[in-house]
Amino acid sequence: MNINNELLEKYHLNTCTSEERKQVEEWLFNTNVDEWDTTGFTGDKEVLKNEMWQEIVVDIPPFAKPLPTRTKLYFMWKGAIAATLLIVMLAGLSYFCFKQTNVQPEASISLINTSSHQVKHVDEQGYSASVGPNTAAKINSEDGAIDLKGSILISPKRDITIAQGLHQSTVLKKGQTYVILKNSIGKSGVIVISEKNLLDMPPVMQQQINTQFGI
């Protein structure tokens, strides 16, 4: 088989036939030199071979870099950063979810009337109320706990929850009127009753409530 400069040039320019290409490649990567007539080739076979490898290397994509070895410290930092990001995300989420209750807490309701005869009237942003004589009332905005001495008549401008015992709570609905009394004759601490249910109270107590609050 002839290997000459012209054939190698054609191979180099990728213009040879497939048979010629096969012939050149067999010569290049075969160590038995006697099978080929190389009289038409004036160059150095090894130099040519290297040049051809160079071209091939340029054409194929570079090898993917091996993964660097991860240390324990690396994983620790990675976990810490992820956890921090999660906390930041949750905090952001809860800010929007609980904005009204946590970020802008309703003021607790605190009503005091030291007069022993007069009813005191108050009108606040969240409610209007008539505070009975000798009354001190506090409604905690967070848990609805009520501390009451005396009596109040209250009309909430937004819903107010009052906790009564461990598992019981009463919602004072916006726009309605409620009477809240220290429960003198019962087991629970206070009596909370809508003005609409006042006729369910004992008549004598109703008279006392009506007379005091003028309702």
Extract the runs of DSSP E, i.e. beta strands, from 74-159: 109-113, 120-123, 127-131, 135-139, 146-149, 151-156
Q: Smallest distance, Å, CB 118 to other proteins?
A: 14
Q: How many residues bind other proteins (CB under 8 A)?
A: 36
| Closer by beta carbon to other proteins, 45 or else 173 | 173
- Does 205 interact with other proteins (rule: CB under 8 A)? yes
C-alpha–C-alpha distance, residues 88 and 91, integer Å: 5
Verify binding: residue 201, other proteins, rule CB under 8 A. Answer: yes
Least distance CB 114 / other proteins (angstroms): 16
Q: Give, as ranges, the residues between 87 and 116 that touch other proteins (CB under 8 A).
A: none
- Would you count residue 207 as binding other proteins (CB under 8 A)? yes
Start-to-end Cα distance in the chain:
123
| Token couple for 80 | 């810490």
Lay out the site mask for other proteins across 152-191 (x = CB under 8 A, - = otherwise).
------------x--------x-xx----xxxxxxxx-xx
The residue written with tokens 């004759």 in the block is: 185
Structure tokens at 175: 């726009």
Residue list 18-47, contact with other proteins (CB under 8 A): none
Residues in CB range of 192: below 8 A, 6 or more apart: 162, 164, 170, 172, 178, 179, 180
- Give the residues lining the site for other proteins (CB under 8 A): 132, 150-151, 164, 173, 175-176, 181-188, 190-197, 199-205, 207-210, 212, 215
